[in-house]
Structure 1
Amino acid sequence: MDDGRVAVDALEQLGLTEYEARCFVALTRIPHGTAKEIGQVADIPRSRVYETMERLRDRGLVEFEEGEPRVFQSVSLDTALRTLRKEYDSYFETVEETLRRMEPVYKETQQAVWAISDHEQVTERVLDLVGDATDELVLLVFEETVLDDAVLTALAEADQRGVTVYVGTDVEAIRERVETAEFDAQVFATPLVEWFGSMTETPRIGRLLMADRGPVLASAIHGEKLPGVPNETAAWSDGIDHGFATFAERVLSYELERNVTESVED
């Protein structure tokens, strides 16, 4: 695929129609052109060039020189890129604002347990839960492969927000990574960690997470998808109004209070 086709496809992804993208790319190849010349370069009917150029002008991507015939030229590449980036950012902001207004209603009306079937998606959900925490995070880690730099960074950012971070593990490499990371975390081992961590059959427990004594996530490892990349699935819930979430919250809270609170008091 040549550069022109790649550019046209990319511009379509940014919201231009196929004719708009092809006309704009054509104008980047020539200093300026009439409708006939642009149609020849862009390989579109001349009758469609005028309306297409009108739309590109409205988007701030082309300029006209009045005359007979009318002559068109693209704005500078830097100007075009700034215009497209601003428009793309505006779309993204609109989507974000709209979805955030809808999200509270959605969460209030649907309390459920959600399944995730991909390691990258499990990690993204972990990052979301960590990023939303305001008070406390309890993370039990049984597999070193699920504690990557992105998760450590998210925990560090939570610590900077004033969130108390607890990490339970019996894997020495995980303990060392957490203790040498640039955030304060209380690392602890519990019978629960030792019990789950000793399991060798597949699937195995990968990680358990509780945020603010509410949202919980539990993952399982089904071997490796690629070398060093776990085949991980998970279930998570954003509340404690039903069995899975209540059970996970009770277990993690009990282990935390018994193994962290008591050790502090001693």
Structure 2
Amino acid sequence: MDDLDELEGVLADAGFSGYEAAAYVGLLRLRDASVSELADVCSVPRSRLYDVLEDLEEAGYVETYEREALRGRVANVSPAAEELRERATRLEDAADHLEDRWERPRFEHTDMSVFQTHAATVTEATARVDAAEHTVHLCVSPDELLELADPLRDAVDRGVVIRIAVQAGEADGDEDLPHLFPDVAAEVRRCESTAHFIALVDGSFAALAVDNEWDGQYGLVVDDNALTSILHWYYQIQLWEPWDTLYTASMGSPTTYVSIRELIRDIESVRADDETVTVRVEGVETQSKEAVEIEGEVVDVIYTDIYEDRDVTFAQQFIQAALRIRSDGEEYTVGGYGAVLEDVRAIQMTITDID
């Protein structure tokens, strides 16, 4: 920086007062000067230079000494240079922070976030998978699955039930990918539908990331029961149920479910009229929002009969599916994703006995 006037402005921006910046640059010009000599080359009034030099000396930027009159000099520019470098580092960090916040701004007073990039959305979803306690549903490309492999392994070790729809295409050519499935999921299916990245975690969190030539890049993340349930139904109907299974773990007995419709389908297919089915439900009370666990006899199955040999319309998939369970003399209604009318929104269900 050759222009000392510009340097004076930078010092002022860096925290020097206007007079301090002017006096410091003046001393840089003269190297060593009396107050009167300094007053001739800078804009600081002579009467103020004494106090200004004293302040600069206290800050460690200049030295003063007496020789017939008060003089000042810059013995070492290192203190001022270090101050500028530290300020530059803070400004650089602030610029990085601005860019980061621009990529994922949040709307205040809502449980919805809009992200500017696909990568930022996947990063947010990865953090939620890291904290998952019960269930994770994913629709991912093979590359995204590899990126999420470590947090998924950790979640499996914690007992989280994970289902993954792997987008077709690249998955067919990756010979190593099937070896990963047992480590990261209870079940994996080959999704041949055109799909975006989707993550559903513990029944309340959902992430959708888009990256294509038509729509560009953006992401949507919600902590909202209604919006999450819509994405869940899209996942279940479009990305999961129609497609072939690539891998399924041996869940053993009892069997664990994360979809109440799949549980209902199995209950209706295996029980006889005089049999009693007992289930354990881990979920959330829809009124209090508190975690709850109940175990009891299934006394009623509430659903639209879509399992007979007839055509199924798209709308019928959204009609209520629920269980009525009797436990310790009390009856509870249990629904799945998006449950509002029922007493409990199920996160994970287990058939414990069929008698």
TM-score by length of 2: 0.41
State yes or no: 1:189 paired with 2:173. Answer: no
Letter in 2 for 1:62: Y
State yes or no: 1:140 paired with 2:145. Answer: no
- Deviation at 1:264? 1.1
- Deviation at 1:5? 9.4
Q: Distance between the aligned counterparts of 2:79 and 2:169, measured in 1?
A: 53
**Is this contact kept in 1: 2:121–2:219, CA < 8 A?**
no
Residues 134 and 143 of structure 1: CA distance in aligned 2, closer, same or farther (over 3 Å): closer
Q: Distance between the aligned counterparts of 1:79 and 1:166, measured in 2?
A: 56
Counterpart of 2:170? 173
1:211-260 alpha-carbon deviations (Å, 9 max, x no partner): 44432111334517xxxxx82123221x2332x22222455579779988
Residues 110 and 246 of structure 1: CA distance in aligned 2, closer, same or farther (over 3 Å): farther
- Deviation at 1:169? 1.8
Counterpart of 1:62? 61
Residues 168 and 52 of structure 1: CA distance in aligned 2, closer, same or farther (over 3 Å): farther
- Structure 2, unpaired ranges of 5+: 98-105, 157-161, 252-355
1:148-204 alpha-carbon deviations (Å, 9 max, x no partner): 9xx92xx356358x23476532344367498499xx5348334xx322x2xxxxxxx
Structure number with bigger Rg = 2
**Is this contact kept in 1: 2:122–2:209, CA < 8 A?**
no
Counterpart of 2:213? 223
Residues 9 and 23 of structure 1: CA distance in aligned 2, closer, same or farther (over 3 Å): closer
- Structure 1, unpaired ranges of 5+: 96-105, 198-204, 225-229
Letter in 2 for 1:127: T
Deviates more, 1:80-89 or 1:135-144: 80-89
Give the match's secondary structure for 1:265.
coil
State yes or no: 1:247 paired with 2:246. Answer: no
Give the match's secondary structure for 1:129.
helix
Q: Which has the higher strand share?
A: 2
Q: Distance between the aligned counterparts of 1:9 and 1:157, measured in 2?
A: 50
Letter in 2 for 1:218: L
**Is this contact kept in 1: 2:139–2:164, CA < 8 A?**
yes
Residues 71 and 29 of structure 1: CA distance in aligned 2, closer, same or farther (over 3 Å): closer
**Is this contact kept in 2: 1:20–1:56, CA < 8 A?**
no
1:36-68 alpha-carbon deviations (Å, 9 max, x no partner): 66995xxx623498777777767x562433441
Q: Which has the higher helix share?
A: 1
Counterpart of 2:197? 207
Counterpart of 2:124? 128
Kindly report which structure 2 residues correspond to 1:1-266, keeping only aligned pairs within 5 A, or say none. Answer: 16=15, 26=25, 32-34=31-33, 45-47=43-45, 62-67=61-66, 68-76=70-78, 80=82, 84=86, 88=90, 110-116=109-115, 118-119=116-117, 122-132=118-128, 133-135=130-132, 137-141=136-140, 147=144, 152=147, 155=148, 158=151, 162-164=154-156, 167-173=164-170, 176=174, 179=177, 185-186=184-185, 188-190=188-190, 193-195=191-193, 197=194, 205-223=195-213, 231-237=216-222, 239-242=223-226, 244-249=227-232, 252=235, 263-265=248-250
TM-score by length of 1: 0.51
**Is this contact kept in 2: 1:221–1:231, CA < 8 A?**
yes
Letter in 2 for 1:72: V
Counterpart of 2:264? none
Give the match's secondary structure for 2:200.
strand
Residues 46 and 12 of structure 1: CA distance in aligned 2, closer, same or farther (over 3 Å): closer
Letter in 1 for 2:218: T
- Deviation at 1:30? 7.0
Give the match's secondary structure for 1:219.
strand
Q: Distance between the aligned counterparts of 1:73 and 1:218, measured in 2?
A: 60
1:17-47 alpha-carbon deviations (Å, 9 max, x no partner): 695996699599779555766995xxx6234
Letter in 1 for 2:189: A
Q: Distance between the aligned counterparts of 1:166 and 1:21, measured in 2?
A: 65
Residues 264 and 83 of structure 1: CA distance in aligned 2, closer, same or farther (over 3 Å): same
